Amino acid sequence: MRMQLPVRNPDVVYRTVDGGAVLLDTGQEVYYGLNAVGAYIWEHLPPVFQTLEELSASLSAVYPEVAVETIRTDARELLDDLFANGLVCPSVGTETCDDSTARCSES
């Protein structure tokens, strides 16, 4: 089964910084720091890539010394954390909805 990537929450401000990036959701007052790999993942969410498999393959090309399974696991962990903090929203057609994701559909 191919995992659909979440989409960026439109209320989140993204800024690159030396060595990574920061995310800021002023509505929830959530500030989140990303390293270079996390910033790459954020920048390659839909519409760039649609699935975790596509994203993992792309990261594997950038970091060939890391096993693709490790990349997939680490990327999934980051995406889960971003989702838990309301920084990303389920992709279209995903039935998951709670208070944090309801904000995503209001925009």
Instruction: Give the single-character DSSP code of 98.
Output: -
pLDDT at residue 9, rounded to an integer: 96
- Domain coordinates of the chain in residue numbers? 7-89
**The CATH number, out of the four listed (3.40.50.2000, 2.60.40.10, 1.10.10.1150, 3.40.50.300), of the domain defined by the range 7-89:** 1.10.10.1150
Two tokens, residue 6: 């979440």
**Residues 43-74 pLDDT 10s:** 999 999 999 999 999 999 999 999 999 999 99
- Under the banding of pLDDT at 50, 70 and 90, the label for residue 1 is low
pTM metric for this prediction: 0.86
**Residues 18-47 pLDDT 10s:** 999 999 998 889 999 999 999 999 999 999
| pLDDT at residue 97 greater than cutoff 70 | no
